Amino acid sequence: MELFAESLGVFFYTYAGVGSTAPWVLGNITKVTGISSLLQIGFAYAFGILIAIGVCSATSGGHFNPCVTIAFVVFKGFPPLKAVRYIAAQILGGYIACLLVYAQYKDLIIAVEEALAAKGALSAIQFTQAGPAGIFALYLPHGVTIGRVFLNEFVTDTFIALAIWGAIDPTNALIPPVAAPWVVSFAYAVAIWGFAAPGLAANSARDVGGRLAALTIYGMEASGGRYAALAALTNIPATLFAAFLYEIFLTDSDRVVPGPNLDYLAGHKNHLRVHIANGSDSVSSVTHGKAYVEALEHSHA
């Protein structure tokens, strides 16, 4: 159930975001304006993430991103072997979403590719941000150095991760549980609106899933070279760095847990008790891992 929820959550926001990216890329190639925009893509990803959190997070804990899962292993006691399964499920969700978008847009994509090939322009544009393959896989932006892309990726991913860590802090009175999905969703939207152009992946599940989809469709030419590793991996150290910053400089163990947050934590506790009463031998599978559950128990005591 948890793996399905993680895969479905990534599917939701990838399907929404790539679905808006497809008409934007194809429209730019064919000079048809008004069918999508960077603003629309940002909103699409934001609302896709909002739907993912709303529908799936109660089942799996709502990681939906390998870097979040890895940070939970390091800072929240999430089981490492379970994290591997989560990450595989997340990538699968992104992969399926991209293949489905390709199937839905296939006729239009092929028509555009044929028109470009007739002009002798397809090979120059195909495996770039502006080409049809760029709908699914991310490529190094034209004229941008790999170092600049790394800087853009790292800083932006740190910004997103700080928003996530602030949203899941049970002592943060200004972000109650019902507001947390909105904060996280719009952190991603702001990142896309402001920093997608210099090159932004932000989520390994979306990036690796999309890369695998592009490889499935177009073959090894869609690999992306050195940029593929940067896009897939940079958000991991950036998220760990952001979690470290939050835990060291922004967490205060003396803060009181507000009422709405306390009710949310109580739900975790009651779920755990029912889980144990039913004879399960896997306490860590309930929420975010044994250490995290114990922390919730302590904060609620």
Residue 219, C-beta contacts closer than 8 angstroms, at least 6 positions apart: none
DSSP single-letter state for residue 173 = T
- Cβ atoms of 42 and 189 within 8 Å: the answer is yes
pLDDT at 253: 82
Alpha-carbon torsion angle 106, 112, 116, 117, nearest 10: 40
- Cβ atoms of 253 and 268 within 8 Å: the answer is no
Q: Which residue intervals of the chain are DSSP H helices?
A: 2-30, 38-60, 66-76, 80-118, 122-125, 146-167, 180-195, 204-218, 226-233, 235-245, 259-277, 290-300
pLDDT at 278: 60
Residue 143, C-beta contacts closer than 8 angstroms, at least 6 positions apart: none
- Cβ atoms of 200 and 177 within 8 Å: the answer is no
**Tens-place pLDDT, residues 154-189:** 999 999 999 999 999 999 999 999 999 999 999 999
State the residue for tokens 């929240």.
76
pLDDT at 275: 53
What is the CB neighbour count within 10 angstroms for residue 109?
A: 20
Q: Which residue has the higher pLDDT, 298 or 198?
A: 198
State the residue for tokens 């004879």.
279
Distance (Å, rounded) from C-alpha 89 to C-alpha 104? 23
Give the phi and the psi of residue 26 in degrees, each rounded to 5: -65, -35
- Cβ atoms of 243 and 165 within 8 Å: the answer is yes
pLDDT at 263: 85
Residue 296's Cβ-side half-sphere holds a number of Cα atoms within 13 Å equal to 26
Distance (Å, rounded) from C-alpha 24 to C-alpha 68? 29
Percent of the chain clearing pLDDT 90 (strictly above): 82
**Tens-place pLDDT, residues 224-282:** 999 999 999 999 999 999 999 999 999 988 888 898 888 887 876 776 655 556 654 44
Average pLDDT (15-27) is: 98
pLDDT at 13 > cutoff 90? yes
pLDDT at 71: 97
Buried b (16+ CB within 10 A) or exposed e, 36-75: beeeebbbbbbbbbbbbbeebbeebbbbbbbbbbbbbbeb
**Tens-place pLDDT, residues 70-83:** 999 999 999 999 99
